Amino acid sequence: MTEYFPEVNSIVYEGPESTNTLAFKHYNPDQVVLGKTMAEHLRFSVCYWHTLKGLGGDPFGPGTIIRNYNQHEDPMTVADKTLEAAFELFTKLGVGFWCFHDRDIAPEADNLTETNKRLDIIVEKAKKLQDQTGVKLLWGTTNAFSHRRFMAGAGTNPSPEVFAYAASQIKKALEVTHYLGGEGYVFWGGREGYDTLLNTDMGREMDNMARLLQMAVDYKKKIGFTGQFYIEPKPKEPTKHQYDFDAGNCHAFLQKYGLDKDFKLNIEANHATLAGHTFQHELAYCAANNILGSVDANRGDMLIGWDTDQFPTNIYDATLAMYIILKAGGLATGGLNFDAKVRRQSIDPVDLFYAHVGAMDTFARGLKNAARMIEDKTFDKLVAERYSGWAGELGRNIESGKVGFEQLEQYIIENGEPRINSGRQELCENLLNDYI
Ligand code: XLS
Ligand code: CA
Ligand code: CA
């Protein structure tokens, strides 16, 4: 098979002292941390759309990046070579997983039947490459947002015909994800939102979105696909307002429509910050509500208000994220998927490797830092102390539902002004810095 990245060898762990810019300084896949290997904890995944297909286009100009695997007239030849390049990259990076949209891996044809045939050809090859390399599918998904037919959404489209197209496309994507042994399936609401309420029936759109998801749940059971379903929140972009705004919003939606047992969330760092939250907040919300599923590990830019999808390099954020993830018991079927793209000026193939090596090391450091925070119980002790009142008689009575307003009023009349304690935020932040 052709080698597409001959300038890069397999990336190996060389330790913190290494000066090799194409080696891991912290990610040591077999190193055991809190009872599991780093590879088992972190479950790194490469995303197909940005890493293999992204060419650096932005609203002001087309792509700047030329790849050796897409220099061909025939779109199926390009798809074939891209897949080979992809598995070479996955293997050289040593990631265990990949993720794709149906349309990333195989181009659309003139009608759905032909499109599905093309998809089958590429999926067959992907299955072979997975078997040869041991790289697994973390999740599959449907691109029901790029084609012009989806300009007004898929499940929330005002036209039932577009809804039917989206359903057909999801049906097929579920089948191929199942065939490839995918551990999950993501629903990101592409253009499921609105640009003006003046032309929008919001209630109907949300009901229809739920209908589409319920159909997916039914079909999943029918074909025996046992992978985990995820919803991925994002507050805006491409529409002004996306219905699956943030974790809290998705949670309410799933509960309202009785879908909460069938879905967890896929939390993307850049989407969290676009929603005005921290990455850690969205993870913590999910953990507190038992809906933490998977993670799209990237970052935004503090000064840019859109989805820049940059590779994660912030050790502070990665530490806080891993702290929440570890405390929640880990990612189970999920993983850390690098839904991130190299910058428009990073035009060399080697930049893809620098990007992933840096991101993997960032999360490896986050994992090691978080593990020490947990072992030392530094913050557990602070939190336990802060809430210790709930172990007393009053706290127990409130939490067990034994008392109501009248008894609590009586308590205050008898005992007077409550005692209050310092929150110690500065101390907490100083202690955190000891681990970074
Ligand atoms: C776009 C989303 C998308 C999903 C998968 O902003 O991040 O890439 O992860 O459809
Ligand atoms: Ca994403
Ligand atoms: Ca994104």
What spacing in Å lies between the alpha carbon of 411 and ligand 2's midpoint? 50
| 1 pLDDT more than 90 | no
Kindly indicate the confidence band of residue 83, based on its pLDDT and cuts at 50, 70 and 90: very high
Q: Which ligand is nearest to the CA of 154?
A: 1
Contact 231, 266 (CB under 8 A): yes
Tokens in use for 405?
């307003």
Among residues 288, 272, 292, 290, the alpha carbon closest in space to that of 280 is found at 272
Band (pLDDT 50/70/90 cuts) for residue 191 is: very high
> For ligand 1, atom 10, which residue shows the shortest CA distance?
188
Give the mutation target among 187, 232, 246 for probing the ligand 1 site: most ligand atoms within 8 A of CB: 232
Q: What is the pLDDT of residues 118-155, one digit of tens each?
A: 999 999 999 999 999 999 999 999 999 999 999 999 99
Confidence of residue 192 (pLDDT cuts 50, 70, 90): very high
Residues with CB under 5 A from ligand 3 (ion): 270, 307, 309
Residue with CA at minimum distance from ligand 1 atom 4: 188
Residues with CB under 6 A from ligand 1: 101, 141, 186, 188, 232, 234, 268, 296, 307, 339
Rounded CA gap, 55 and 346, in Å? 10
Q: How far is the CA of 339 from the centre of ligand 3 (A)?
A: 7
Q: Hunting for tokens 């705004």 — which residue is that?
A: 245
Task: Determine the residue type at 338.
Answer: F
Q: Tell whether the model's pLDDT for residue 32 goes beyond 90.
A: yes
Report the atom number in ligand 1 closest to the C-alpha of 49: 8
What is the pLDDT, as a whole number, of residue 264?
Answer: 98
Cα(425) to centroid(ligand 2), Å: 32
Q: How far is the CA of 234 from the centre of ligand 1 (A)?
A: 9
| Sign of the dihedral through C-alpha 376, 378, 379, 384 | positive
Going through 128-257 in order, the beta strands assigned E by DSSP cover 136-141, 184-188, 193-194, 228-232, 241-242
User: What is the tens place of the pLDDT at every residue in 295-322?
Assistant: 999 999 999 989 999 999 999 999 999 9
Ligand 2 centroid from CA 60, angstroms: 22
Burial class (CB in 10 A: 0-12, 13-18, 19+), 364: buried
Q: Whose CA is nearest to atom 2 of ligand 1?
A: 188
Number of Cβ atoms within 10 Å of the Cβ of 350: 13
Q: Best mutation site among 169, 296, 311, 336 for ligand 1, i.e. most ligand atoms within 8 A of its Cβ?
A: 296
Amino acid at 412: I
Q: How far is the CA of 368 from the centre of ligand 1 (A)?
A: 28
Instruction: Output the six-digit token pair for 247.
Output: 């974790």
Average pLDDT over residues 59-79: 97
> What are the structural domains of the chain?
32-376 (3.20.20.150), 380-435 (no CATH)
Q: Stretch 80-107: mean pLDDT, rounded?
A: 98
Catalytic residue check, 101:
yes
The pLDDT assigned to 202 comes to 98
Give the residue, by CA position, lying nearest to ligand 1 atom 8.
Answer: 339
With vertex at residue 242, the alpha carbon angle to CA 159 and CA 102, rounded to the nearest 5 degrees, is: 65
Active-site annotation holder among 80, 102, 104, 307: 104
Compute the average pLDDT of residues 277-289: 98
- Answer with the residue of higher pLDDT: 158 or 305: 158
Instruction: Look at residue 54 in the predicted model and tell me its pLDDT.
Output: 98
Q: Which two tokens stand for residue 285?
A: 């919300």
Task: Provide mean pLDDT across the span 158-174.
Answer: 98
Dihedral class, residue 142 (left if φ above 0, else alpha if ψ from -120 to 50, else beta): beta
User: Which of 50, 101, 251, 281 does the annotation list as catalytic?
Assistant: 101
Q: With contact defined as beta carbons under 8 Å apart, do 272 and 281 qualify?
A: yes
Q: What digits encode the pLDDT tens for the residues 230-272?
A: 999 999 999 999 999 999 999 999 999 999 999 999 999 999 9
Residue 35 is classified by DSSP as T
Percentage of the chain exceeding pLDDT 70:
100
What's the Rg (C-alpha) of the chain?
24
Q: How far apart are CA 84 and CA 2, in angstroms?
A: 8
Residue 281 annotated among the catalytic residues of the structure: no
